[in-house]
Amino acid sequence: MRSRIDELLTHNNSECINKIFICHNGSLKEEFLVAQELENELPLVRAFHTDRPGVGAGCKLGINACETEYFLITGSDLPFGTSDLDRWCELVIRQEQPEITLGSKLHPKSVVTGRTFLRRLTTSGLAFLKRLILGPGQPMDSQGTIFMKTSLAKEVLSECFSNDFFFTTELVTRGLKAGGQFVEIPVVYLAKEDGSSVSPFRSSFNFLTALIRLKFSLSRSKR
């Protein structure tokens, strides 16, 4: 976590960063103590905690507290380096950023190394299922990093039922339905998945179940 914060603050495009929110979810652990230490050391950092499990629950804390025009959802363990920030800042400089910008492993110009064949197949398969169930016009990869207009996210946040890893997909989908536009940008993804505890089969089943629930929820939405 500390190395990720240092990386962002010393990056060439660090002027794009106004605040860094560390949002911790689940049972209190040593990681949150580190977050509190960083909050005391660095004026840009704020630490949040919720007892609710799931990364989405933590993301909701950060979005509700955000006061900047755009925010970035990332993670201390996402092996993107600052490649996504580089590409997004280029869009900002050219004043071409849409409401939603996605750091995408599936972008044809992304450099992805270290992923197992099973994980690559799972990612591609879930992207296909998402477009099949939710319809065309969906981004290929909504499980990477997300740069999003804060006002749009807050507009749809109360409708988001997901508190787990599916939250980013739901947030983007609801943001698009509310009128947002998106672009996917390439990233450099250097994965180290040998010790991963994530089960592609269990995660795929949960993702599919959440997609069906989202499809049903969208069909009943008044938007």
**Is 94 exposed, middle or buried (CB count within 10 Å of its CB: 0-12, 13-18, 19+)?**
exposed
Choose the weakest-confidence range: 21-25, 173-177, 179-183.
Answer: 21-25
Cα three-residue angle 96-100-101, rounded to 5 degrees: 70
pLDDT of 196 reads: 54
Q: How far apart (Å, rounded) are the C-alpha atoms in residues 120 and 116?
A: 6
Choose the weakest-confidence range: 2-6, 30-34, 58-62, 205-209.
Answer: 2-6
Q: How far apart (Å, rounded) are the C-alpha atoms in residues 177 and 156?
A: 9
Amino acid at 125: G
Q: In the structure, what pLDDT confidence band is assigned to residue 12 with cuts at 50, 70 and 90?
A: low
Closest to 168 in 3D by CA, of 80, 86, 103:
103
Closest to 72 in 3D by CA, of 26, 120, 14:
14
Domain ranges of the chain: 2-116+144-195
User: What does pLDDT average to over the chain?
Assistant: 86
Tell me how far the alpha carbon of residue 195 is from its chain's centroid.
Answer: 22
Please say if the pLDDT value at position 93 is more than 60. yes
Contact (CB, 8 A) for 99 and 181 = yes
Q: pLDDT per residue over 70-80, tens digit each?
A: 999 987 767 77
Question: At residue 24, what are phi and psi to the nearest 5 degrees?
Answer: -105, 135
pLDDT of 85 reads: 87
Q: pLDDT per residue over 96-144, tens digit each?
A: 999 999 999 889 999 988 777 787 888 888 888 898 999 888 998 888 8
* 81-91 mean pLDDT: 87
CATH dotted code for 2-116+144-195: 3.90.550.10
**Tokens of residue 176, six digits:** 């698009």
Please say if the pLDDT value at position 89 is more than 80. yes
Q: pLDDT per residue over 58-71, tens digit each?
A: 999 999 999 999 99
Closest to 20 in 3D by CA, of 33, 8, 36, 12:
8
Q: Taking each helix axis from N to C terminus, what angle separates 167-177 and 150-157, rounded to the nearest 10 degrees?
A: 100
pLDDT of 217 reads: 94
What Cα–Cα distance (Å) separates residue 157 from each residue in 3, 174, 180, 196? Answer: 30, 9, 14, 30
pLDDT of 223 reads: 60
Question: What pTM does this model have?
Answer: 0.87
Please say if the pLDDT value at position 193 is more than 60. no
pLDDT of 133 reads: 93
Q: How far apart (Å, rounded) are the C-alpha atoms in residues 43 and 74?
A: 20
